[in-house]
Structure 1
Amino acid sequence: MLYRKVPKTGEELSILGFGAMRLPMIDDNNIDEERAIAQIRNCIDNGVNYVDTAWPYHGGQSEGLVGKALKDGYRKKVSIADKLPQYIVESREHMDEILNEQLRRLDVDCIDYYLIHAVEGNSWDRSVELGIKDFLDKALESGKIRYAGFSFHGVPEDFKRIVDDYPWTFCQIQYNFLDTENQAGTAGLKYAASKDLAVMIMEPLRGGNLSAPTPPDGVQDIFNQAETKRAPVEWALRWVWNHPEVTVVLSGMNEEEHIKQNLTIASKAEANSLTEGELAIVDKVAARYKELMQVPCTGCAYCMPCPAGVRIPGCFELFNSTHMFKEKAEYFKFQYAVFFSKEMAGESAYASQCVECGQCEEHCPQHIAIPEQLKRVVGYFEQGDMQAKVDMVANKQEN
């Protein structure tokens, strides 16, 4: 296992972190606890020292499972990452109640890396109004958390101002070779690193899509041009780890063979280890994926802010993903319903909010007919009961 240092503390974290969001299941509602615990402990035995969970994962079951997995001496071997679900917070006092419940679920006295979950501009502003900074200050002073961070799901401009708005130790962003300009993107990665933040990466494989043994048409032909042959999963992970600004890459590993493969890759994926030729190969693969996109959106966000509140780049990102990775369409529909909801983002951001004012088109470098494309997004995603998906993840009931 390779390790990288947290800039502000000097602590060494494994470059591979265990993400407890996609644990093995017995059925649709219940985690296979014996298998999940064995998987987490196997990773720790092989050098992983960062385990990431959150309040809503597996309907509230993930934190308790992680707590069980870290019994028998495993707690002292790892750092726990957990997240405040800002999207359900009702008051400053509610923040304390949630943190105390998380400590109870995990059965620990302290959470090492504590994030404000799924932050973007509106939700951060709302959290500040509710007293999030005082909450973090007090939680740090009391020793209930060791380090403060945030996970991000917004536009680049919001990312930078959130980085600058609190003395964070770390942040978590979505990053892979397709998301260099979406959300925080490469610019955000470098900005956070310039501020000495450790950067934890989520979705390095875009929900597993970039690791498919049989990639979309034309992709494998491009990979075959490389002198060194690698599986798609290794190309994708090594591309992320090639960036020295990256501290930890989270993987939602739930198959023993995938765990073994990821551990092997993490033992040799040094920063700056890919050659210029290999990076060019990945660029070609990314270009091929983008050819399969329905909307030629680069995620530059020049169309933002939308006066009606639509998160335009995010809508197009998910719409494109459903066409690049058709077998994961339901997963992307779920993401659309949840992450663009009022409950998660502070203000809803769905495509159906478009009033066709035309302001976005005036600023789009790609000259996209944005209102017309948003209608396609509405037709695809906004069918059925989206709110049921939101309620399930928000997990508003007390438990």
Structure 2
Amino acid sequence: MQYRKFGPLDFQVSILGLGAMRLPLQDPHDEGSIDEAQATAMIHYAIDHGVNYIDTAYPYHKGMSEVVVGKALQGTYRERAKVATKLPTWLLEACEHPEKYLREQLKRLRRDHVDFYLLHALDRNRWETVLKCRVLEWAEQAKARGDIGYLGFSFHDDLATFKRIIDTYPFTFCQIQYNYLDVDFQAGQEGLRYAASKGLAVVVMEPLKGGQLVRLPEEVRRRLAATGRNWTPAAWGLLWLWNQKEVTTVLSGASTMRELEENIETASFAHEGILRPEDLVALEEARRILRGIAPIPCTTCHYCLPCPQGVNIPFVFGLYNRVFQFRDLEGARRTYFHFLRPEERPENCVECGVCEERCPQKIPIREELKKVQDFFQRSSQEAM
């Protein structure tokens, strides 16, 4: 495992952190049904192989992620990794006191303090709520009491808002969505460099765009293979990030032990400047190809869920993108009609708009659901 300095701190963080948002499930239709035995084995394996940063959050896996992480980090593992979790800022709009959420999280995590605490999923509106409700003043008090080690924020909005947040308060770290496909998306590369120039540690989430950069179409695979590098698609995505000195650590949202093992192996030889000019050119061409064939920019982060009507928005969008990215109409259509529950289909959408308020990617979800529904209905009729 390789390590980098965590912003202004003396702490040397593993360049690979473990994100506990996509842990293995017992029931693929129930995000709360974490397979505890498998998840615990993965957390222990990661720590045994040098990972010392575990990231979770209040809503992940319907609140069960913090519980499972807390259980896994008992005994000898307790002091071997730092834990990061997040304050659900969207629940503070009426200036509800954040203390109750922190208390609940400490209980779930079985800890008396949180090493790294983030204001979760900030955008311009939530940032205004944070300021209006004096959340920063509360956080300072929590730090002084020792309940919080260091304060940071995760982010989903435009670059101007990102810079404004950084310039308003001396955060220790930030967390951004960043990968070789989303170079100019949200904070993007300019935001990464801006945060680093201000002394913040930068934690990267969605390094493989919710798994999309693993399931590459053949055209992209051929282009990357032409470089002569014997790397998997996941390795390409991670190494592109670690090639940049401004990236402090990258969260692996692995769902299986095999994925985690591969990511840890890649981290063992990664370093700044590992990519040659011809590698970077190949990734630029991969980006051009992929941008042209993925119609809905969904990362399957699940922030849009639960839908009041039960629509499985990320899964539906994933099936639609699968048709265009991987040329798998038959497989996507079969899954849509035979494995997607009736209540999970887009025809159940009543256009309440709750999902769009939550979506970090600002996708016009209601409009896209109509498009997906029409597409699969037409494709089914044509197949008859």
Question: Which bracket does the TM-score occupy, shorter chain normalised?
Answer: 0.7 to 0.9
Higher mean displacement: 14-23 or 122-131: 122-131
Q: Give the corresponding residue for 2:21.
A: 21
Pairs aligned (count): 333
TM norm structure 1: 0.77
**1:160 aligned partner, one-letter code:** K
CA–CA separation in structure 1 for the residues paired with 2:320 and 2:273: 30
- Partners of 1:175 and 1:92 lie apart in 2 by 31
Counterpart contact for 2:202–2:246, Cα < 8 Å: yes
Quote the offset at 1:111 in angstroms: 0.5
- Residue 204 of structure 2 aligns to a residue whose secondary structure is strand
Return the offset for 1:90: 4.7
Match of residue 300 from structure 1: none
Distance 2:295 2:61 in 1: 31
Alignment of 1:81-120 (within 5 A): 81-90=84-93, 92=95, 94-120=97-123
Cα deviation digits, residues 135-176 of structure 1 (max 9, x gap):
211111111111100000111111110111111000000000
How many Å apart are 1:246 and its aligned residue? 0.4
Q: Distance in 1 between matches of 2:119 and 2:320?
A: 28
Separation in structure 1 between the aligned mates of residue 180 and residue 47 of structure 2, nearest angstrom = 27
CA–CA separation in structure 1 for the residues paired with 2:121 and 2:373: 21
Aligned to 1:362: none
Partner of 1:199: 202
Match of 1:379 among 362, 365, 370: 370
Counterpart residue identity of residue 287, structure 2 = A
Distance 1:320 1:133, change over 3 A: farther
Structure 1 residue 294: Cα displacement: 4.4
Look up the equivalent residue of 1:107 and give its one-letter code: R
What is the alpha-carbon root mean square deviation over aligned residues?
2.9
Runs of 4+ in 1 over 2 A off after TM superposition: 90-94, 317-331, 337-340, 348-352, 375-383
Q: Find the aligned partners of 1:3 and 1:61 in 2 and give their Cα distance.
A: 29
Q: Establish whether residue 126 from structure 1 lines up as the match of residue 129 from structure 2.
A: yes
Task: Work out whether 1:38 is the aligned partner of 2:54.
Answer: no
1:176-204 C-alpha deviation (Å, 9 max, x unpaired):
00100011100000000010100000000
User: What is the distance in 2 between the residues matched to 1:47 and 1:118?
Assistant: 28
- Cα distance in 2, alignment partners of residues 266 and 59 from structure 1: 30
- Between the aligned partners of 1:248 and 1:90, the Cα distance in structure 2 is 31
Deviations 1:19-75 (A, max 9, x none): 111111112241111111111011001000000000000101010110000001211
Where in structure 2 are the equivalents of 1:339-378 lying within 5 Å?
A: 340-341=356-357, 351=364, 377=368
Cα gap change, 1:80 to 1:154, in 2 (>3 Å): same
Determine the C-alpha separation between the residues in 2 that align with 1:156 and 1:268: 32
Matched, 1:263 2:279: no
Q: CA deviation at 1:128?
A: 1.1
* 2:227 paired residue number: 226
Contact 2:7 2:248 in 1 (8 A): no
Partner of 1:250: 251
Match 2:191 to one of 174, 188, 192: 188
CA distance in 2, matches of 1:228, 1:25: 34
Return the alpha-carbon distance in structure 1 between the equivalents of residues 205 and 318 of structure 2.
Answer: 16
Residue 62 of structure 2 is matched in structure 1 by: 59
Flag the 1:166–1:321 CA change in 2: closer, same or farther, 3 A: farther
The structure-2 alpha-carbon separation of the partners of 1:319 and 1:197, relative to structure 1 and needing over 3 Å to count, comes to farther
- In structure 1, the partner of 2:154 is 151
Partner Cα distance (2:321, 2:295) in 1: 9
The 2-side partners of 1:321 and 1:199 are apart by 29
More moved, 172-181 vs 317-326: 317-326
> Cα distance 1:90–1:351, how it changes in 2: closer, same or farther (>3 A)?
closer
- Residues 211 and 351 of structure 1: is their aligned pair in 2 closer, same or farther, counting only changes over 3 Å? closer
Distance 1:272 1:102 in 2: 39
Q: Report deviation, 1:209.
A: 1.1
Offset at residue 9 of structure 1 (A) = 1.0
Task: Determine the structure 1 residue equivalent to 2:50.
Answer: 47
Deviations 1:192-243 (A, max 9, x none): 001010000000000011112xx21411110121122211111111001111
How far apart are residue 349 of structure 1 and its match? 6.0
Q: How far apart are 1:283 and its partner, in Å?
A: 0.9
CA contact (8 A) 2:356 2:364 kept: no
Identity of aligned residues (%): 40
Change (3 A) 1:32 1:134: same
* Counterpart contact for 2:204–2:251, Cα < 8 Å: yes
Which amino acid letter does the alignment assign opposite residue 211 of structure 1? V
- In the alignment, which residue of structure 1 is the partner of 2:304? none
- Aligned counterparts of 1:351 and 1:42: Cα–Cα separation in 2: 39
Q: Contact 2:93–2:129 at 8 Å: present in 1 too?
A: no
Residue pair 1:39, 1:254 contacting (<8 A) in 2 also: no
Aligned-partner residue type, residue 182 of structure 1:
F
SS at match of 2:255: coil
Q: Matches of 2:92 and 2:278 in 1, distance apart?
A: 48
The gaps in structure 1 that reach 5 residues or longer are 298-316, 353-374, 384-399
8 Å CA contact retained: 1:200, 1:246:
yes
Residues 1:381 and 1:135: Cα distance change in structure 2 (over 3 Å): farther
